[in-house]
Structure 1
Amino acid sequence: MESKRQQKFAGLLQEELAAIFQREGSAYLPNTLVTITKVRVSPDLAVAKVYLSFLNTDNTRLSVATVNAHANEIRYKLGARIRHQARTIPTLSFFVDDTNEYVERMDQIFDKIAKERKESGNDE
């Protein structure tokens, strides 16, 4: 369970990282839209796990690897933006948020089940 402090700091990070990716994201991933879906912060606020969603990319794993390769540069830019609001700038780790893929897969399964039930109901 995250504390209020962690939640507030995660919200700040999400907002500022979104602005960084909106302005300068094309330098890391051209023609790709990056969305910050969730940020989780450690209790000491030293480590932040950032979950990303990508649009217009074929390989999300490669996109995350590219962003992780630039993590120190992104952290520096983040530090410049929040230096008056935070004592330490957290170490950033980026991950793929595959929630949308999971939801789509579950919808397909439910549709398949409903279709099978409908077909078996018509046979009787």
Structure 2
Amino acid sequence: MESTRQQKINRLIQKELGDIFLLQTKQMTGVLVSVSSVRISPDLGVAKAYLSIFPSEKGAELLKNINANVKAIRYDIGQRLGKQLRIIPEFTFFLDDSLDYLDNIDRLLNKDNKTEDKNG
């Protein structure tokens, strides 16, 4: 169970990471990176950020680039939140594929409905 402080920091970091990725992806046309959630450890030293990347075909490549530049991202967060947080957490980024999963379920359900319409 997360404390209220952890939840507030999660939202704060999620907003700031979203702003950072928005500025970075403006230079790349047709790419959108959004931060779907952030989970910070109880000691506030480690944060896991889950990213939703569109188009999903570029997800693995972009995630690799983001993880390669994690120190620069941590520095940017430190510049933005240094007055509010005593410790700037270490970041680990993961690909959030829940939208692809939902897409797949919708596609399968629609396929079943079309099969029933033809048979029924």
Q: TM-score, normalised by structure 2?
A: 0.89
> Matched residue pairs, number?
119
Structure 2 regions of 5+ residues with no counterpart?
Answer: none
Q: How many angstroms apart in 2 are the aligned matches of 1:26 and 1:47?
A: 25
1:56 Cα deviation (Å)? Answer: 4.4
Residue matched to 2:11 = 11
Residue matched to 1:102 = 101
1:30 Cα deviation (Å)? Answer: 2.9
Q: TM-score, normalised by structure 1?
A: 0.86
Higher Cα Rg: structure 1 or 2?
1
Q: Is the CA contact (8 Å cut-off) linking 2:25 and 2:33 kept in structure 1?
A: no
Q: How many angstroms apart in 2 are the aligned matches of 1:102 and 1:26?
A: 24
Q: Is the CA contact (8 Å cut-off) linking 2:48 and 2:91 kept in structure 1?
A: yes
Q: Is the CA contact (8 Å cut-off) linking 2:48 and 2:94 kept in structure 1?
A: yes
Residue aligned with 1:59, SS: helix
Q: How many angstroms apart in 1 are the aligned matches of 2:55 and 2:107?
A: 22
Residue matched to 1:61 = 60
1:22 has 2:22 as partner: yes
Q: How many angstroms apart in 2 are the aligned matches of 1:15 and 1:105?
A: 28
